[in-house]
Amino acid sequence: MSKAYRAEGASLGDESFELSGSAEFTEAVKTKPQQRSESSVSIFSAPDESQTAAQLIRKAQDILVICHVMPDGDAIGSLLGLGWALHKLGKEHTLACADPVPDSFAYLPGSEAIVTHPEGNHDLVISLDCSDLKRLGAAYDQDSLRGVPIINIDHHVTNVGFGRVNWVDPSSAATAQMVLTLIERLEVPLDPTMATCLLNGVVTDTRGFRTPNTTPAVMEAATRLMTAGASLPEITEQVFNRRPLAVIRLWGRALSAVQLDGRIIWTEISQAMKHECGLSSDSDDGLVSFLTSACEADVGVVFIEKDDGTIDVSMRSMSGIDISSVAMRLGGGGHPQAAGCNLSSSLVEARERVLAELRHSLLEQTAPLQH
């Protein structure tokens, strides 16, 4: 899917996939005014936003597709799934993420083509699985991309509506589920490569079809992807049952330092711990979900010191406990039971600030149950 791969897709004969001139594309973009919102609720989109997104993609000449920092399986799976669809359309495109692809998802076809600092003259940006511009990190250069329209495709309830087109659907269990719809709107036939990437996104964001938002629609989407050639057993094995030895060693260090603060279980990972274990990735690789399995806790938190000195905060909660509002107050976002943020502070300062917010939130949410 890199520049070297793109020429192959240019021979597609379907006239609906022909590139339009820049003037026509600009006119199409003008028909959708930039949408911004103070409230995430007001930007939840109508069903026709997927059609609008498909229209702009067909008319674009060079597309930059970006997912959020500290990418998870849905971010990488959506990025690659859409990338392979654009490849089939013969579109010039670049896939970008500010942070490296986690080891757990390096098995996905095309993952080596994802860049951290994209270059080129793009006329369309597609943001995937990201609730606000800040979460795109260094992969989104606001100076060079100023004026370039953004298609914002996301399923997070905390999305702030930062795109020219905001297709935000919190009823979708994964952004990959939405990308599947987009690929169908683009009339690109599914193949095993696209299907594998997208099913990776669905499987990881539903924790193996175990989250409350695992609806019949999600299972139908998964069935379509499996029918197209994605192997559910292989994906499950790769993302849940296989980890580098360095990650297992790091988990040992982090688990030995676990603390329980009321119903909040937490631990932290410093740069020194990662270096001592021989790990270069910043991802917690599922540790926060494991912490939340503790019977004594309702919320799990992992604080990770990144290479740039900032602190990435990953949070998970039990059903009925909403942590998305805490993440949003801290400048992040996410889902009611899975959220996070990035803080410019020390580990100690980040820990004190986040735990204080969580204590207050838990008190507010559990107080009505005590009367």
Question: Which amino acid is located at 367 in the chain?
Answer: A
Question: Residue 124, CB half-sphere, CA atoms under 13 Å: how many?
Answer: 25
According to the model, what pLDDT value does residue 263 have? Answer: 96
* Average pLDDT of the residues in 11-15: 28
38 vs 83, which has greater pLDDT? 83
Contact present, 138 and 149 (Cβ < 8 Å): no
pLDDT tens, position by position, 259-312: 999 999 999 999 999 999 998 776 666 899 999 999 999 999 999 999 889 999
State the pLDDT at residue 280: 74
Query: How far is 316 from 114, CA to CA, in rounded Å?
Result: 27
The SS3 of residue 310 is coil
pLDDT of residue 310: 93
In DSSP terms, which residues pair with 128 in a beta bridge? 67, 153
CATH architecture of the domain with residue range 3-238: Alpha-Beta Complex (3.90)
- Whether 54 shows a pLDDT value over 90: the answer reads yes
pLDDT at site 284: 67
Q: Which amino acid is at 78?
A: S
**Predicted pLDDT of residue 188:** 98
Q: Do the domains at 3-238 and 245-370 have one common CATH topology?
A: no
Options 1.10.287.70, 3.10.310.30, 1.10.238.10, 3.30.565.10; CATH for 245-370 is 3.10.310.30
pLDDT in the model for residue 286: 86
Provide, rounded to the nearest whole percent, the portion of the chain with pLDDT above 90.
78
- Identify the CA nearest to 55 among candidates 79, 38, 32: 32
**Would you say residue 245 has pLDDT above 80?**
yes
Longest alpha-carbon distance in the chain = 68
Average pLDDT for residues 163-190, to the nearest whole number?
Answer: 97
Q: DSSP for 122-187? A: -SEEEEES-SSGGGGGGGS-TTTTTT--EEEEE--TT----SSEEEE-TTSS-HHHHHHHHHHHTT
In whole angstroms, give the CA distance from residue 30 to residue 33.
6
Segment 107-164, tens digit of pLDDT: 999 999 999 999 999 999 999 999 999 999 999 999 999 999 999 999 999 999 999 9
Is the CB of residue 70 less than 8 Å from the CB of residue 133?
A: no
CB 205 within 8 A of CB 214: no
pLDDT score for 45:
53
Give the residue with greater pLDDT, 27 vs 15: 27
Query: CB neighbours of 166 closer than 8 A, spacing ≥ 6?
Result: 35, 43, 45, 49, 152, 159
Domain ranges within the chain, ordered by starting residue: 3-238, 245-370
Between 195 and 20, the higher pLDDT residue:
195
Please report the pLDDT score of residue 5 as a whole number.
Answer: 34
Q: Read off the tokens for 118.
A: 């994209």
pLDDT, tens digit, 9 for 90 and up, residues 184-243: 999 999 999 999 999 999 999 999 999 888 999 999 999 999 999 999 999 999 999 988
The strand pairing partners of 303, in sequence order, are: 268, 313
Percent of the chain with pLDDT over 70: 85
Give the per-residue pLDDT at 58: 97
Per-residue pLDDT band for 349 (boundaries 50, 70, 90) equals very high
* Structure tokens given for 247: 């990650």
